[in-house]
Structure 1
């Protein structure tokens, strides 16, 4: 199974670029930019990755992001993730970035976006990995601040495919951002939102009804509302689920208690993703393998997650068909009878 997953053509739809900041790169960039980290070594930093909830994680996440200051920093961060994609046979990725984390501390929006977009273009040219860029609003900030960020994003309309909503759900329901999401849709952006991770199923309904999203990020609390599950199945509204992240943040106490396979069997368009892999101890292959082993899945069942991710992507129908053909070619070779 490990070899099958390793070679399986995959698509990742829930990945925060800032969450791929490995400790080694964090220390390198801190030295480059004269940033003093409150950790004496890479080992002491890794030891701090014991998160009890989302806010505990975000505190370290935002602290680490302070080392990202120049366009080259954002390029190096993004390209390092794309090289990992190449190793893991991720053929398309749609990545989140959080410009407000950086603009709050004085790094210009253009610096952030310029470095990321340049790396994504080089990743397609040099590594053959296609990508889409999703700009997220921080839900713990105001909607007016989100609107100002959206105005800057419009200048990068050719590079940014969608807008999203992340950070702590607690006290920050989707309805808080109804105006800015309407503005984004009217501008032509696709929309996604984190909902139903620490928040209740009502937050998922809010993302659907108030924000009119094209995808739900996480969404695992949908199981608390059978009518919501029925809606997700009927409308094939995708969920971008992050199993190891959910366990690390105590959304589920063990991978064996996760609901992702139940949702798959009910017909929800559910996908596997890695969220913030540098912090949660697993990139996409590790997430696939953890689910496959915990639920004793067949290779055909594992492949359904990849097929779902292709369907859920923001690619054109023509490009989706090309990725589907790559997947089917791989599966044909894997299941070809040995004569």
Structure 2
């Protein structure tokens, strides 16, 4: 049985990828006594490590982030879970920089994990056509089956960090077409560097008769409560490789309206009945129907949500044994 590599995190309490790295590490530790969660500075020379990589977490630029991983790999073997894969919605210049950074990380790693087949396709299309990776889908908690809130907020909820392409603008546009527009609430805070864009969307939406607010950062319990009390849950990402926001809605017991793309089609097949997929042209109509019939936005008891976090831990242990 192969020893568990050191499980590296960045010490960022609010970044979703770093929070996920710690969740996976905790699940691995439940299965194996030799699991250790460490910061990069605590990795000794020669140690095998596993990292969760997105360029925005590891450096001030994609190149700096790749260099950080290369420095670790120069001291010992590295396996890596990739997040936020480069894709055309990055914009041409950013796509080129990010693709180069991810290519460097892949070449430094002894084994690579993606969180969806969609991400693997992005990896091979925009990073390295010959790249090999194991697909380990993001886990989901068992849905909250507590009694539903006695009252709900009359709003469209969009969950997770705000950044362009996350679906907030699409929710605003859809709401503005309704006879009685619903406010849009960003359940979470602006991603670092995108605060001005959130403020700009608030102003633009007001001109269309739609109020937009942000809750700011919420801890797990507060986020779950906000997700359960929003009238209409919406996932309308334009820029997505894998989505923790989707699994957060599911864990809250909600069946969100989801604008179709390849990733969400993959997740709908993995977890049947947990989302309401529509074309973008049908988003406004679905929101209007959900507001009239809120029952459509709640999961049925017993909905299947595997893999769980413990399933992910077992998949990672199997990967390290092979690697």
Task: Tell me the TM-score normalized by structure 1.
Answer: 0.31
Query: Max radius of gyration: which structure?
Result: 2
Task: Tell me the TM-score normalized by structure 2.
Answer: 0.32
More helix by share: 1
